[in-house]
Amino acid sequence: MTSSHTPVGFEVWPMKNETRKCNDEVHGEVTIPPAVQIVLDSPAVQRLANLKQLGCAFNTYPSCSHTRKEHSLGVMETASNIIATSNIGKQQLNITKMDILCLRIAGLTHDLGHGPFSHVYESFLKASYKQEKEHPELYSERNAKFKEQFGMDLPDLPPSYEHEKTSLMMVDDLLATNGLEIDWGALDEPLKQVGNGVDSETFGVIRKNKNEPGETTVDHFTSRDWIFIKECIYGKPLVYPDAPETQKAFVGRGKNKEFLYDIISNRHSGLDVDRYDYYARDGLSAMGKKDAYNVLLRTAVVAKGLCPNRDTCFDCKDKPHSEEARHLMICYPVKHISEAMSFFETRINNHDKIYTHKKTKAAELLMVDLMLESDLHFSTLLSTQHNDPDALPTHSRFADFEYPKLPLSRAWMYPRLFLRADDSIVGVIEDKVLESSDKGLASLKKILRHLRKHEFYKCVGEVEIDEIGGDTLWDMDEDDIKREMVTILLETEGNRIARTNATYEFGDDEQITLDTNDIIVEKRELHYGSKEKNPVLQMNFLEKKHFEDIDTLPIEKLPLAGPPEKLPLNKPEHFIKRTIRFFSRDREKNELLGHAFQNWKIVKEEGYNELKMCFEEIDDEGESQSNPALLTQESASYSAVKRRKLDF
């Protein structure tokens, strides 16, 4: 079917008028209107079915195998429920069906930018950037092979990665696969038709025709609507390349509807439907129970609240401090302050018991090492389908993209590549290893074997920063902490240390080498959602008297809300807890590293700061080398460890 407005050569078809429903273990029935079905069927969203929501947590809690797709459907449903079931839907706020549909799609697509095993991929990218910058010599062979094969250098990694930005890229991709694109030059017109796919003029909200019973019409999406969707995901105004230039304010919706941006990603307090869903879903999967916050959903209202972050808020930071900074935002009855505190308490509990459980973290660290090692050897792990006529279409901004293949660390740079970067990547890496005759893959094979046998890294110790070291220790680089630990081990041994090449020896017996590469230092920060701050003080509440006529008030007469004057009894004493954990990469050295940790901990507790830092040797070529510490099996301290297995 071809529409009269369709550019010549494109085949388009109308959106089907069919609403579906599916069941969800957290929310019950989930409604899928026609426009959502088109988005749901796109490759970008279907990919979420192959991403575990909690990364490697299934190794600790076997039932934590739910996917990003399930979570995204839950966020989508809750986004509309907060309007339908609360006072927000009854207030005079001019919320349209199109607004609600956009919020639903934003909920469905907000996590499109997550990579394999969710947050594990972000940890991998951070480690990749650090390793490539600090040890470029490790990648010289890989990079040279890539340039020889393709005549170009690998693209550089940025210092940081935001999965939200990749989500925006994948939103553009799902539109492209449906033959559509946002047009910044025609914001209030239908989406730009750029290829075969759904007819842009029939893609949107289906409503009944009042003049002709039984007939329906479509209020089509505009480019502004999809900019609104992307802004809801990003939580702030768009920047290049998702806008022609950095925007200073929201474009999708005006000031009178700024409260809609609080629903998916609440930039004010962090209390939003994304967290509503995953707190409940993750708790149900891991602990067999879900915390109910329906009372907060049911009693939410829109009022004029004080901006809690005026110094960083894009809309308030330039206002004089003499001027009150207020937003139309989602607020709650003052009687539910305790429920709000409980909501944020769930956050810290989930992070402590599920997301950063020591076994979960041990599995994640092994997975990161697998990705790092594969990235070192395989510069062409995934194909971009460059110049493939049968490949899925991509957004026009990738018209000049020339890379035929890229490693896993660059998968997020191109939509076609990212579509295949999911949890199945372990099998892809394993196949590559099995097909290769490269003898340099021994480390990669070892990691794969450990992964298949669930032989994860061992947590040998943990310290709380408030008890040991304080900010001085917390601010130390992880590599410096590892070097300090090895030095203390050497200086507290009773044996005479003889320096030979770049090693330390204890006699002539069998030796165990403890190298800084055997140690992983993990800084763990647990908080209620606002670092050191009380997140409830970031919220705005209303007294009971304001609820009597709030449904009838126009926007300009909505009441003023504010932070709570009286805090609940369940307020914690501290809002942040920082610990440092130490993991051993080598199972044979677990006890030795545990001993090294205990020595280090004792020295830190006693305030021994004048350490003899003797890690660096200069080799024959004048290069600095890291010095390992070697202990014999018969050294006094190591023998003590063998006789009495320490429980860390």
Is residue 648 pLDDT above 80, yes or no? Answer: no
Contact 82, 106 (CB under 8 A): no
Contact 393, 419 (CB under 8 A): no
b/e map of 202-237 (b: 16 or more CB within 10 Å)?
bbbbbeeeeeeeeeeebebbbbbbbbbbbbbbbebb
| Bond from prior residue into 241 cis (ω within 30 degrees of 0) | yes
Q: Is the model more confident about 494 or about 413?
A: 413
Using CA atoms, how far apart are residues 494 and 54, in angstroms rounded to an integer? 46
Region 348-368 average pLDDT: 97
Q: Which sign does the torsion angle of CA 415, 419, 423, 427 carry?
A: negative
Using CA atoms, how far apart are residues 501 and 122, in angstroms rounded to an integer? 38
Q: Which residues pair with 341 in a beta bridge?
A: none
Is residue 614 pLDDT above 50, yes or no? Answer: no
Torsion of CA 587, 589, 590, 592, to 10 degrees: 170
Rounded to a whole number of angstroms, the CA Rg of the chain reads 28
Q: How far is CA 289 from CA 178, 283, 346, 533, in A?
A: 40, 6, 12, 28
Count the residues in the chain.
648
The phi and psi torsions of 25 (rounded to 5 degrees) equal -70, -20
198 closest CA partner among 6, 432, 429:
6
Q: Return the pLDDT at 607.
A: 58
Contact 394, 194 (CB under 8 A): no
| DSSP character string of 210-242 | SSSTT-EEEEE-BHHHHHHHHHHHHSS---TTS
Using CA atoms, how far apart are residues 23 and 8, in angstroms rounded to an integer? 42
**How do residues 123-182 score in pLDDT, each as one tens digit?**
999 999 999 999 999 999 999 999 999 999 999 999 999 999 999 999 999 999 999 999
C-alpha 137: how far from its chain's center? 30
Is residue 641 pLDDT above 90, yes or no? Answer: no
**How do residues 80-111 score in pLDDT, each as one tens digit?**
999 999 999 999 999 999 999 999 999 999 99
Q: Which residue has the tokens 């449903």?
A: 77
Using CA atoms, how far apart are residues 529 and 429, in angstroms rounded to an integer? 36
Contact 300, 87 (CB under 8 A): yes
* Band of pLDDT at residue 386, cut at 50, 70 and 90: confident
**How do residues 241-278 score in pLDDT, each as one tens digit?**
999 999 999 999 999 999 999 999 999 999 999 999 99
Q: How far is CA 608 from CA 103, 384, 487, 492, in A?
A: 56, 54, 12, 12
Q: Which residue type occupies 142?
A: R
Q: Which sign does the torsion angle of CA 252, 217, 74, 170 carry?
A: negative
SS3 332: strand
* Band of pLDDT at residue 623, cut at 50, 70 and 90: very low
Contact 276, 206 (CB under 8 A): no
* Band of pLDDT at residue 494, cut at 50, 70 and 90: very low
Is residue 610 pLDDT above 90, yes or no? Answer: no
Q: Which two tokens stand for residue 581?
A: 């954990």
What are the domain boundaries of the chain?
A: 122-159+358-452, 458-526+575-643
Name the pairing type of β-strands 541-542 and 326-333.
Answer: parallel
